[in-house]
Amino acid sequence: MPAPGKTQAFRVRGQALLLCNVDGTPYVLRDECSHARTQLAGGRLCGFVLECPLHGGKLDVRDGSPVAPPIRRQVASFPVRRTGDRLELGLPTPRATTPPQP
């Protein structure tokens, strides 16, 4: 886990994610700004607020909700919990595709 007040980008199942450490509590977001489709990695984390490094929009890392423009849409957030010295991440189950019926 990154140091408090820092973030760390990583990938799981092909998804770009961002781990944010707020005073020892982990939060995970999709690593993509909902405004400009750019990475949030490299943005400044101040308390629960992450600033997009491209246009300076801000969002709340607890639930991905916008805090300041130009971000207007929520960024996906995922549940994360500590289990001993590990972090467990709750990602949605990939949808199974059903082949077309003849």
Average pLDDT, stretch 70-96? Answer: 87
Torsion of CA 74, 79, 82, 88, to 10 degrees: -120
Q: Using an 8 Å Cβ cutoff, are 43 and 29 in contact?
A: no
How far is the C-alpha of 51 from the C-alpha of 45, rounded, in Å?
6
Average pLDDT, stretch 69-79? Answer: 95
Hey, what are 28's tokens? 């995970």
Average pLDDT, stretch 26-50? Answer: 95
Q: Using an 8 Å Cβ cutoff, are 19 and 2 in contact?
A: yes
The yes-or-no verdict on residue 36 having pLDDT over 90 is no
Q: Which domains does the chain have, with CATH numbers?
A: 7-77 (2.102.10.10)
